[in-house]
């Protein structure tokens, strides 16, 4: 049993962990899993975007760095061009000072791309995202088209307000959907169409306020209707109004409490513990993983192999304590690497570099340290000396501390998943941004009609105020058209509060051991459902065999 250097709580490491650390020749971590994850998340500002101008070509642009950051921020096209040489800021390593301090100085002397996007078309308000077309506010999401306000979602079109939604079309305000069409206000749906305000459906269509159904059509609150009855009842529910939706949701939540839930959302996950693990094998304490193998304490893996402590490493192998590593190999303590980066440590924004250490915005360079070029022999000697130095300073083996993140804590997803106050962040050495983008008190309209049919087209010219955080927000015409067509009441909350509300529907990424609640079954499992949660939690066998599921 060890004690976390940050939060002082006890944590354990097992033999498999030590074998991995030994293989990478890194010391065992001195911080618990959750504190390590906070450090990684504090290096992921996905959604806090500012208007800025490129410090190279002067073009106006969107940037995920605050104007207060004092970094040398350039537009993505300047950053991707061959026009600047990252080695210009190269410097010698000073053995009388800590590594992180020197890295911080290098980071402030080297051009940095304003956003982390590639192959994007008409989607400049997107970040940590590739291959999006005609999208707006799409983050940590790839291959989407005509989609607004999406996060952690891939392969969608014509959708709005979605989180963790994949291969869908025309979905709105949904979380954790796969292969769905025209669904609204729902969570955990698979291959379902035209479903509204429902939970845990597979192969269903035209269901409203339903929970745990399979292969059903024309159900309301888990009751079977004929098509005609269904249409009539739907009309009466007035789902185009906030009042109608709130009334239905109250009934759906009551129904949800009575239905058994499977202990995890894992599918085809052999010898895995965690949640939302799909088609994977031997993943331990992992969340949101697809097609992964041998990953531990990791989040957001996709075709990832042999990884520990990662937050996003699509197509990568042998990765440790790193954030957003794309199709790269043997990466340790890195943030943001584009395809083909190999054997790189303690670097930020790597683009296909190999055998490098402590670099920023490196391209296809090899044998660089602090952006300075060395020969292979010099590199290997110097790297060994720096690692020894960092072992003495206590730096080696841990990811960049909060203090050295290019972002303030409340700009990053750390604030979404591990919210802290300004004082708590300061105590951890992190920074706080007092002026997050946005305005207050500038609203031109205070009463949003309850019914979408009563909303005038001129609403796109108005400034609205969020009913939760009071931040001003606007409705863009693309969005209004979507709400009108789908008969959805106009949102009264700002996009950020809507995003947070969707995240809050998901269980936290923390496991506890519990026993199946289907007495007398004695099966035990690792689940994200805490004991305080009202849901009835079953093991997989009981969940699949129970006749109770899907009946009222
Ligand atoms: Zn801790
Ligand atoms: Zn530029
Ligand atoms: Zn708000
Ligand atoms: Zn059971």
Same domain, 250 and 199: yes
CATH number of the domain that residue 465 is part of: 3.30.160
pLDDT at 13 over 90: yes
200, 505 contact by CB (below 8 A): no
Tell me, yes or no, whether 96 lies in a domain. Answer: no
Query: Same structural domain for residues 224 and 303?
Result: no
The answer to whether residue 318 sits within a structural domain is: yes
Task: Give residue 7 CA to ligand 1 midpoint distance, Å.
Answer: 4
194 and 246 together in one domain: yes
Is 90 within the bounds of a domain?
A: no
Average pLDDT over residues 437-449: 93
DSSP state of 154: B
DSSP 21-43: HHHHT-PPPSS-HHHHHHHHHTT
57 Cα: distance to centroid of ligand 2 (angstroms): 4
Give 126-172 pLDDT, tens digit per residue: 999 999 999 999 999 999 999 999 999 999 999 999 999 999 999 99
pLDDT mean across residues, the chain: 96
For ligand 1, the distance from its centroid to the CA atom of residue 401, given in whole angstroms, is: 13
- Ligand closest to 33 (CA) is 1
The rounded Å distance from CA 543 to ligand 4 centre is: 7
Q: For residue 242, is pLDDT > 50?
A: yes
Question: What DSSP line would sit under 150-173, residue for residue?
Answer: EES-BS-BS-EEEEEEES-BS-EE
| Domain-embedded: residue 36 | no
180 and 238: one domain? yes
pLDDT of residue 312: 97
In a shared domain, residues 254 and 350: no
Average pLDDT over residues 375-390: 98
Tens of pLDDT, residue by residue over 99-112, are 999 999 999 999 99
Distance in Å, CA 499 to ligand 3 centroid: 9
Give 394-424 pLDDT, tens digit per residue.
Answer: 999 999 999 999 999 999 999 999 999 999 9
**Domain annotation covers residue 88:** no
Kindly state whether residues 252 and 289 are assigned to the same domain: no
User: Which residue has tokens 């805490």?
Assistant: 530
Q: How far does residue 498's CA lie from ligand 3's centre (Å)?
A: 7
Together in a domain, 359 and 256: no
**pLDDT for 547:** 54
Res 552 pLDDT > 50: no
| Residue 6, pLDDT above cutoff 80 | yes
Ligand 2 center–CA 84 separation, angstroms: 11
Where is the domain boundary, 402, 437, 462? 402
**Other beta carbons within 10 Å of 286:** 29
Burial class (CB in 10 A: 0-12, 13-18, 19+), 480: middle
According to the model, what pLDDT value does residue 551 have?
47
CA of 188 to the centre of ligand 3 (A): 25
Q: Is residue 247 part of a domain?
A: yes
Answer yes or no: is 493 within a domain. Answer: yes
Q: Give the pLDDT band of residue 392 (cuts 50, 70, 90).
A: very high
For residue range 331-359, list pLDDT tens digits in order. Answer: 999 999 999 999 999 999 999 999 999 99
Neighbours of ion ligand 3 (CB under 5 A): 466, 468-469, 471, 494, 497
Q: What is the pLDDT of residue 88?
A: 97
pLDDT tens, residue by residue, 288-322: 999 999 999 999 999 999 999 999 999 999 999 99
**E strand or H helix that includes residue 386:** helix 376-393
Tell me the ligand closest to 35's alpha carbon: 1
Q: How would residue 82 be classed by pLDDT, with cut points 50, 70 and 90?
A: confident
Q: Which of 151-165, 189-203, 268-282, 531-545 has the lowest mean pLDDT?
A: 531-545
In this structure, are 282 and 395 located in the same domain? yes
Q: Which residue range(s) make up the domain with 461?
A: 452-504
Q: Reply yes or no on whether the pLDDT at 550 is more than 90.
A: no
Whether pLDDT at 185 is above 70 = yes
**Do 534 and 492 share a structural domain?**
no
Q: 81 C-alpha to center of ligand 2: Å?
A: 9
Which residues line ion ligand 2, judged by CB < 5 Å? 54, 56-57, 59, 75, 78
From ligand 4's centre to the CA of 275, what distance in Å?
Answer: 18
- State whether 463 and 542 are in the same domain: no
| 469 CA → ligand 3 middle, Å | 4
Task: Say if 151 falls within a structural domain.
Answer: no
Count up the domains in the chain and report the number. 4
Are 292 and 396 in the same domain? Answer: yes
User: Quick one: DSSP state of residue 361?
Assistant: S
Please determine, for residue 546, whether its predicted confidence score (pLDDT) is greater than 90.
Answer: no
- Contacts (Cβ under 8 Å, ≥6 apart) of 96: none
The band of 548, judged by pLDDT with boundaries at 50, 70 and 90, is: very low
**Ligand 4 mean position, distance from CA 521 (Å):** 5
> Ligand 1 centre and the CA of 380: distance in Å?
33
pLDDT value of residue 184: 98
Q: Is 304 in the same domain as 206?
A: no
Helix/strand/coil percentages in the chain, nearest 5: 25, 30, 45
- The predicted-structure confidence for 474-517, as pLDDT tens digits, reads as follows 999 989 999 999 999 999 999 999 999 999 999 999 999 999 99
Cα 533 to averaged position of ligand 4 atoms, centre (Å): 18
């Amino acid at each position: 049993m060890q004690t976390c250097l940050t939060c002082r709580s006890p944590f354990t490491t097992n033999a498999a962990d030590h074998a991995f650390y030994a293989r990478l020749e890194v010391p065992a971590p001195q911080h618990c899993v959750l504190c390590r994850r906070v450090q990684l998340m504090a290096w992921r500002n996905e959604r806090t975007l500012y208007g800025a101008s490129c410090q190279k070509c002067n073009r106006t642009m969107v940037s995920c760095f605050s104007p207060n950051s004092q970094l040398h921020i350039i537009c993505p096209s300047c950053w991707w061009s061959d026009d600047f040489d990252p080695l210009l800021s190269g410097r010698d390593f000073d053995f009388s000072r800590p590594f992180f301090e020197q890295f911080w100085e290098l980071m402030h002397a080297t051009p940095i791309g304003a956003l982390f996007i590639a192959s994007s078309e008409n989607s400049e308000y997107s970040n940590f995202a590739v291959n999006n077309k005609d999208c707006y506010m799409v983050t940590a999401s790839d291959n989407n088209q005509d989609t607004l306000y999406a996060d952690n979602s891939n392969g969608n079109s014509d959708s709005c307000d979605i989180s963790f939604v994949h291969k869908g079309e025309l979905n709105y305000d949904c979380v954790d959907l796969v292969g769905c069409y025209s669904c609204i206000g729902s969570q955990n749906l698979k291959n379902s169409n035209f479903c509204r305000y429902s939970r845990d459906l597979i192969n269903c269509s035209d269901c409203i306020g339903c929970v745990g159904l399979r292969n059903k059509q024309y159900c309301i609150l888990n009751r079977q209707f004929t098509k005609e009855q269904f249409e009539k009842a739907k009309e009466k529910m007035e789902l185009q109004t906030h009042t109608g939706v709130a009334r239905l949701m109250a009934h759906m939540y009551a129904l949800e409490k009575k239905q058994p839930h499977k202990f995890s959302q894992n599918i085809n996950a052999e010898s895995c513990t965690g949640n939302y693990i799909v088609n994977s094998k031997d993943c331990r304490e992992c969340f949101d993983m697809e097609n992964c193998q041998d990953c531990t304490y990791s989040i957001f893996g996709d075709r990832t192999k042999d990884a520990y402590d990662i937050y996003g490493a699509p197509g990568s192998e042998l990765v440790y304590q790193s954030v957003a590593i794309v199709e790269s190999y043997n990466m340790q303590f890195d943030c943001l690497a584009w395809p083909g980066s190999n054997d790189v440590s303690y670097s930020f924004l790597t683009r296909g570099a190999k055998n490098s250490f402590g670099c920023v915005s490196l391209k296809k360079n090899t044998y660089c340290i602090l952006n300075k070029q060395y020969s292979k022999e010099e590199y290997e000697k110097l790297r060994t000396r720096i690692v020894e130095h960092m072992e003495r300073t206590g730096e080696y083996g841990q990811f960049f501390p909060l203090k050295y993140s290019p972002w303030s804590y409340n700009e990053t997803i750390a604030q979404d998943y591990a919210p802290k106050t300004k004082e708590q962040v300061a105590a951890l050495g992190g920074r706080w941004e007092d002026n997050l983008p946005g305005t207050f008190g500038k609203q031109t309209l205070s009463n949003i009609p309850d019914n979408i049919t009563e909303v005038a087209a001129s609403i796109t010219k108005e400034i609205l105020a969020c009913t939760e955080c009071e931040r001003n927000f606007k409705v863009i015409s693309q969005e209004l058209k979507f709400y009108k067509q789908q008969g959805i009441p106009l949102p009264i909350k700002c996009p950020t509060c809507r995003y947070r509300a969707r995240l809050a529907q998901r269980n936290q990424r923390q496991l506890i051991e519990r026993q199946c609640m289907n007495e007398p079954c004695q099966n035990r499992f690792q689940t994200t459902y805490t004991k305080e949660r009202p849901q009835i939690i079953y093991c997989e066998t009981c969940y699949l065999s129970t006749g109770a599921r899907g009946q009222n």
